[in-house]
Amino acid sequence: MLMTHSERTPYISSKAKPLTGSPVIPGDKSISHRALMFGGLAIGKTTITGLLEGEDVLCTAEAMRQMGATITRFDDGTWECHGVGIGGLKEPEAALEMGNSGTSTRLLMGLVGGHNITATFIGDASLTKRPMNRVIIPLEQMGVTFQAREGGRLPVTSTGPKTLMPIEYRLPVASAQVKSAILLAGLSAMGKTTVIEEKPTRDHTENMLRHFGIEVEVKDLEDGGQAISVTGQKDLKGATIIVPSDPSSAAFPTVAALINQGSEIMLENTLMNDRRSGIYDTLIEMGADITYSNERNDGGEPVCDMYIKASQTLKGITVPAERVPSMIDEFPILSIAAACAKGTTIMTGLEELRVKESDRLLMMYNGLKACGVDCEMGEDSLTIHGDGSAPLGLNKNVTPIETALDHRIAMSFLVLGTVSKNPITIDDAAPIRTSFPDFIDLMNTLGTDLKPA
């Protein structure tokens, strides 16, 4: 669905009470997307509980239905998939609406590319600006043909070949989405498809493929990288998936609790994959009071409960560049923690933030400056100088913070408004529905004051 100006819903965030409670954080978005895709491709029944029912994930569900998968939601929130098997996707009669979801688009381009069908991908104003060439280039090497706007931008039409060629492909940029797209296409290829990554990226695709009965080969390379391979033409088997809470979504109430004195919250069943936990490692290095308990493994993924207490003074640090892939989506909310910390926080290697739902590097810099935060931006860096006190926030009659249809920008500045000296207004809270539909209600239940402006 395209977001029009008239549909915008400005919100204002004012000082919060101490946050308390044990909120239920939505299911992990990355795992939710994959559960629907793999369930829609697998032979037999797949049962999913805890699925994130945000707009992005619902786009994935509808796309798989358009291509022949039977996907049903029951009243108790359980989802059930009956898949079509490798090579069984049918050509969709209408364009596949991807909304705001880059994950859906890139992974489905791989999945669809392995089938001898034609499909067109469309999206909202934000997604239409995002480049897809990084997926198109390797898929073309496998035999898929594409028609796209300049830079590989949506709308994109793909046509899969009668026989897909397996390839070995070295990722030029660390990207779990590109890796996953190639591996998913490789499920249909005759032979072994290999992706080489120099830096480790999210491994949810590998973990879930194993859970669905597919052998995934991982070899460590002498240069420190990894080669990940799948052999095609083997069917996935239906499975049971319990989707853990999304650590990216959990980061917002976590930071809100850390910076609001007197706060204590518990977040249960949180995904703690070491390729997704960089934000928590970083916050703990900054002095955050975060305790893990009940650590366990569920469906191939590590899960734990987290207890978060307000921290007297977070301290600025230099975030290790090698940690960036494990927290790429969390830099907006980390920037809020850094703005409230004492000392300088230096973040580098952030070029990937330029091509997210918005130019997140620029959006965070502009928003922080508008709120009185001392910061500097480079081509791939953001440096924030905190003095240990709450930032000013927005003066009266100042233009609201621009969110550029980006859910993480919107949520981040609403969190900052819970401690800033002046309230903070954002221009649009509607995009939050893509990943965290109950964010406003959940945060207000904990003790925040978020309301329509």
Rounded to an integer, what distance in angstroms lies between the CA atom of residue 67 and that of residue 54? 21
Neighbours of 138 (CB within 10 A): 23
Distant-in-sequence, close-in-space partners of 320: CB < 8 Å, separation ≥ 6: none
Residues in the chain, how many? 453
Q: Which residues are catalytic?
A: 329
Extract the tokens encoding 150.
Answer: 């300049």
